[in-house]
Structure 1
Amino acid sequence: MKPRPSFPAKLPASASPALASLKPAPTTFAARPLPAGGNRPSPLDQALARHAPASSMPLSSGLGLDSGAVRERMVAKLAAQGVRDAWVLQAMGRIERHRFVETALAGQAYEDTSLPIGLGQTISKPNVVARMLELLRQGASGKLGRVLEIGTGCGYQAAVLSQVATEVYSLERLRALHEKAKKNLLPFRLPNVHLMLGDGMLGYPKGAPYAGIISAAGGQEVPMVWVDQLAVGGRLVAPTLTASGQQALVVIHKTATGFDKQVLEAVHFVPLKSGIA
C-alpha cells in the first residue's frame, strides 16, 4: 500500500480530547455481572465480551445524552435488528451521535431515524450506518486499512469509521458541510481522520488503493474511478439506482480477475452530484 498522503485539513492534535487515544487496551464492553436472581447477561453483552476489539476510548459516564447507557441501548437495538460485527457494534456505542446534530434534534439522536443536517442533507439512520459498515467489513478479522468515504456530511460516519479502519479519508463537495464536519470532529481529536473538500465522484486517486470505499449518496451507477481506486480484495458499498429506478445498496468486491457485485435491499439516500459548491 502506498505511503499515506498529507492533508492540510487533518484534524489538529492540540484540541481537548473528547475521546482517548486509539492505542489498544481492554474493551469497555465487558459482560455485566450476573444480576440478582441468576439471570445471565444479554446475548449482546456476551458477544461483545467475547469478540469486541480492544480500545481505550471510554464511553461517557455522565447522565442524559452523555451517558454510555443511552448508546448501549441503541447498540442493543442494532444487534436485535441483525447487526453482528462486534467492531461495528462497539464503534456505534463509542461515538456520540448527538454531537453531530442540531441541539433542537439532540433528543432524537439515538432513535433509528435520519435527521436533517442542513443544505438538504441528512445524517443516516444508525441502522443504515451500521449495516453499511458491516458490509464494508465483511470477511475482515481486524481493523480495515485505508478507507475512502464519499460524502462527509456532518462527520458522524467518518467518526464511526475511525474506530474500524486504520485511516479514513473523507470527501465532501459542499463547503459549508465540510466546515461543519471539521467543527464537529475537532473535539474528538481523531488523528486517523482526514477531511477534504472535493468532488467525490472523482474519488481521491492519490490515496489509492483503498481497502474500502463507502458512499453516503447514490447515483445512476457506481463511478468506475471508485472501482479503479479500490484495492484487490477491497469492498465498495454505495446506494445506486437499479433497473426499476429505485435505490438499493450495492456491494462490489474487487478480485484479481475483476469484481463481484451484489444488489441488496432498497434504501433512500440523497443524490450523488459532481462539482464543489
Structure 2
Amino acid sequence: MSWFSNQWNRWNQSAPSAWSDVEWLDVVYGRQRYATHSNCSYQVTLPQIEGALTLGHLRQELATVFSLPIQQVLVAFQGLFLKDDRVSLHDYDLRSGSRITLLARDAYVQQAQARAQKQAQNAPQGTAAGGPSAQDAESLPSAAPTMAPVRTGAPAAPPAQDAGAGAPGAADAPSHLEQIAQVSQHCQRDLVPELELLEKTVDALPDSLPGALQSQVPEDVSDEARIPPQRIPLTQRKLSELLLRELLKLDGFPTDSEEVRNTRKATVKNIQAYLDRVDAAWGRATQAKGIVSDV
C-alpha cells in the first residue's frame, strides 16, 4: 500500500474535523505537456494529514503529480508567488477548488530571459529595455525547500533526454516495458482494491433520497469494509484522478517497438476499464442510493 493510500485509509476512518479541509485545488500547469489547449487545468487531490496543510505539503504533492523535482516547483496564486513552505494554505487564502498556477523554475527563468532579450533587441537604440528577468529572479521563492520533505518514496522526475540523441530503439525496450509494468502493478496493488471497496460500499447502501445518507452524522467507528457515505464523492474523484495520472504516464512511450506498443495498449485498455467501473459505481450511487456530488 502506497503512502498516499495509507494516509487516505487513516483519514477515511476518522472524524472529518480532525483533518485539514483543503481537499483539492484547480492547478493550471505552465508547461502544458498533456493539454490540447493552453490554460487547461487539473484537479489535484491533496493528501489528508493531521493538522493544517502547508505550502510545503502542496509543493511536494505537485512535484509527485507532475514529475518535477521539488526545487523546480513554483506556485503562484492571484498573481503572486507563494514563498514560505511553513505557511498554511489557509493563511494563503487557499480553499478547496481554488485555482493556482504551477510553473517549473528553470523554464520560467528561461522564458523571462528570452522576453527580456527580445525586448532589448526591439528597443530603440539608447533606450533601456524593461527586462523582466532580473525582477522575476528576485521575486522567485528560494530554490531550496524551507521545510523537510513531508513524505518519502515520491517518484523521481524522468531524466531529460539529450536533444541530439536518436530515437529510442530496441535497446530501450526493456526499460520501457519495466515502466509500463510498474504502472500496471501500481493500479492492481493500490487502486483496484479501493475501487472494489467503492463498488462494495455502493452496492450495500440502501435506496435513499438525494443527500439523505450524506447528511447523517458520521459514526465514530473504524470500519475498513466500507466507505462512509460522506466520503463517496471524494473517493470517486480520487480514484478517477489517480487512474488518469497512470494513463498520462503512458503517453510518452515510443511506438516503434511492437512489444512496447502492444504492452502499452493492453495496459491502457485495463486502466480505461477501471475508469469505467468507477463511473459505473458513481452512477449507481447517484441514481439509486441518493449520493450527491459535494462540488
TM-score band w.r.t. shorter chain? under 0.3
Compute the TM-score of the two structures, normalised by the length of structure 2. 0.23
Structure label with greater radius of gyration: 2
Q: Which structure: greater strand fraction?
A: 1
Structure number with greater CO (CA < 8 Å, separation at least 6) is 2
- After TM superposition, the score normalised by the length of structure 1 is 0.24
Higher helix share: 2
